[in-house]
Structure 1
């Protein structure tokens, strides 16, 4: 592997479960020789991507926080979405999330709470399962069939245990039905006390779908007019898509 790939692999070792690693552990996990591994680590420290702690231990460095700040301030998707998400949160009195789907995890890139709600255990930057909840399901439904099949093969056990689908044919049929419906309504899939309504944001054939979602207590959502919230979400999603395409609407 190239030097750049090796150095990036070091950064991906850090997780919520293991936010601190020592140099020897890093070398062992990635099968680096001690001199090579220490050289990579030193370079990452010099660039602020790792920070040295006591006893030869390391954690992610300050440059990571700078990059996250730049991402929040400079990402046009977030820029266009935040005002609309604030409006949705105020109108529905629910939390609103903007979410991306990756092969190994689902990730909120912005979370708009209603009056500092602490409803969600997950928030910006905290990975969660890519197979459970409203956001991943709607993004999968608007993804190519090839992507759907890859996800099914990887998480077939989870889809079966949650009784979402018992085989690939059933899974693909549900994806088709969700896409036709245009939204996905989930109750208790990610956290038993919560529910979600998600719609897709699709602004490019070269970009993966994004999910725009409202989250509330399961009890409240069961008594809510789902169609009203779906319309709010779809209108916001359309406006975001138009802005991303450079076709701003008045």
Structure 2
């Protein structure tokens, strides 16, 4: 029998309303158009993606510019605005998870290890803090670590992501499955709801997740959730990136124990930082 934290579906399960159902939500959704491959956005891009009338697209772009989230660029294009940089600096100074992770991981002082601290928004996992080298050397091979601060990754790939998923609320897990059943199946996490529940229950019982080569070829990861000490609320995940060839069973167990202690220290520091704000 599966643990109670993964109850079966009710007879009828409905998806929540889209976060973009309001005018504000629709305007903010324009920010999803920006990426490394699309650093500039034009009004025709907005119309093609969302189907807005041209007047509505102009209005949303103007509102985002007025808020400083976008800025006019040459040729009728728009770029991300200066307020994004302001928020980035504010996060570094005030985000409890970032500050707690930075302090604890710097105290650990392992120069050869790559630690990655993650947070979650929507169905994306974002690396908010990285400590360690950008390249890992193993048996003569130099392997670049692709995860870095500010890069989002899918919720269903990589140890840092899989360490978050089983500790979400049962309702959110059900809704996540409904939205992403095909992607979950293609990631090897279960071809149906019951199989998906079993995979998550197994990760949760073990207390950590592992992966090999899902984000970066030749690299693997071990990760644990960051859970607050009082109510066990999930606030993030902590991963250790290593060469996949070095992931022996003994080393995985040792790394998982080390990460669990570090995650507990981060959680305690998180509470202190939040209380001082």
CA distance in structure 1 between the partners assigned to 2:238 and 2:267 by the alignment:
12
Superposed displacement of residue 131, structure 1: 0.3
Match runs of 1:57-96 below 5 Å: 57-88=77-108, 90-91=109-110, 93-96=112-115
Given the alignment of the two structures, is residue 134 of structure 1 paired with residue 154 of structure 2, yes or no? no
CA distance in structure 1 between the partners assigned to 2:218 and 2:234 by the alignment:
29
Superposed displacement of residue 127, structure 1: 1.4
Given the alignment of the two structures, is residue 40 of structure 1 paired with residue 65 of structure 2, yes or no? no
Q: Can you give the 5+ residue segments of structure 2 that lack an aligned partner in the other structure?
A: 1-20, 137-142
Which structure ranks higher in relative contact order (CA pairs < 8 Å, sequence separation ≥ 6)?
A: 2
> Could you say which residue in structure 2 is the equivalent of 1:97?
116
Pick aligned residue for 1:240 from 246, 266, 269 = 266
Q: TM-score, normalised to structure 2's length?
A: 0.78
Pick aligned residue for 1:166 from 183, 187, 191 = 191
Superposed displacement of residue 223, structure 1: 7.4
CA distance in structure 2 between the partners assigned to 1:3 and 1:152 by the alignment:
27
> Could you say which residue in structure 1 is the equivalent of 2:128?
109
Moved more, 113-122 or 135-144: 113-122
Indicate the SS of the match to 1:114. coil
- Hey, which of these two has a bigger chunk of strand by percent? 2
CA distance in structure 1 between the partners assigned to 2:205 and 2:211 by the alignment:
16
Q: Can you give the 5+ residue segments of structure 1 that lack an aligned partner in the other structure?
A: none
Moved more, 121-130 or 54-63: 121-130
Given the alignment of the two structures, is residue 193 of structure 1 paired with residue 247 of structure 2, yes or no? no
Superposed displacement of residue 31, structure 1: 3.5
Superposed displacement of residue 60, structure 1: 0.7
CA RMSD of superposed structures (Å)? 2.7
Superposed displacement of residue 237, structure 1: 1.3
CA distance in structure 2 between the partners assigned to 1:47 and 1:149 by the alignment:
35
Indicate the SS of the match to 1:107. strand
Superposed displacement of residue 167, structure 1: 2.5
Q: Aligned pair in 2 of structure 1 residues 26, 205: CA closer, same or farther (>3 Å)?
A: farther
Indicate the SS of the match to 1:165. coil
Contact 1:132/1:189 (<8 A) preserved: yes
Q: Aligned pair in 2 of structure 1 residues 214, 92: CA closer, same or farther (>3 Å)?
A: farther
Q: Aligned pair in 2 of structure 1 residues 147, 42: CA closer, same or farther (>3 Å)?
A: closer
Match runs of 1:197-216 below 5 Å: 197-203=222-228, 208-216=234-242
Indicate the SS of the match to 1:214. strand
Q: TM-score, normalised to structure 1's length?
A: 0.85
